[in-house]
Structure 1
C-alpha cells in the first residue's frame, strides 16, 4: 500500500471540489505506483488562479474558479479505480488522467493546524507544493498524520 498527497486548485465556481487523484504529465512515472486501496490526502490551495483555460479533446474553454480555496487538507480518500487516461491541459499544465477515489472522511484541516500537530511529533513543516502537487509519503509519516489530525 502507498500513501499520497494530491494538491488541487479551488473548485470551479458553483461546483463542489472533486477528490479524484489527478496526474500531471511530469508525474507520469508515479502512474504504475498507484494501487486500488492506496490512501491519499487531498489538499486544496488557498490561492486561486481565477480564470483557467481548459483544453481537451472537446476543445478549449475557460472556467472561473472560486476566488479563494481552503488552504487545507479537505479529505482522506482511498484509490478506487485503475488509472483513467484522459489527456488535457489545465491552466497550461498538461495532465494525463486520474484515479477515481472513495472518500473516507471529509474534514477541513488548515495548514497551520497541520504544522502545529506535525511539529509535536518531530516532523518537518508541511509543504503541499513539493513535486508539482503530488507526493508519496513514507507509511509511518502518513499514518502519524492520520492519527494526529483525527482522520
Structure 2
C-alpha cells in the first residue's frame, strides 16, 4: 500500500492510539477490530487482569501476559534475558521467539530494552525495537504476541511535586 515515495500509508487505532499500517484490520496493541467497529470490539483488559501489574507497580520487574497466562517476575540490577532458550531468565514459548530475543536492564527512567539479534523484532508503541529503547515503568512492549509490561517505581519530580 505504498504511495510511490517509499512510504506506507498509516492509520491510528481509535482505542490505544497506536500507529498501524492502513491495511491492518486488527490493532496488535489493544486488539481493536477495525472490521467490526467500536460496537463489537474486544474489550480492554479488566481491572482483574491488570491487577498483577498494579500489585507489583513499585517493584522492578516485568509482567508477561500471553494468551493463556499472566505472570510477574523480578528483574535485578544485572538485567534479564528474554528468549526461547531454557537458559534465559524469562522464557517465551512461541515459534517466532528467538533463542536470545532481547535484554531488559532497569534504569531510573524505566526498563532499557535491547534487541539481541532477533529474527522478529519486539515492538514498542507499534514501532520495532532495533537497538535500545528505554520503556517507562507502566508501559508495555510486544514480543511475538506476548505483552511485557515493565513494573517499577515511577520517577519522582526533582521539585517534590
Whether TM-score is above 0.5 comes out as: no
TM-score, structure 1 normalization: 0.23
Structure with greater helix share of residues = 1
Q: Which has the higher contact order (CA 8 A, sep 6+)?
A: 1
Q: Radius of gyration: which is bigger?
A: 2
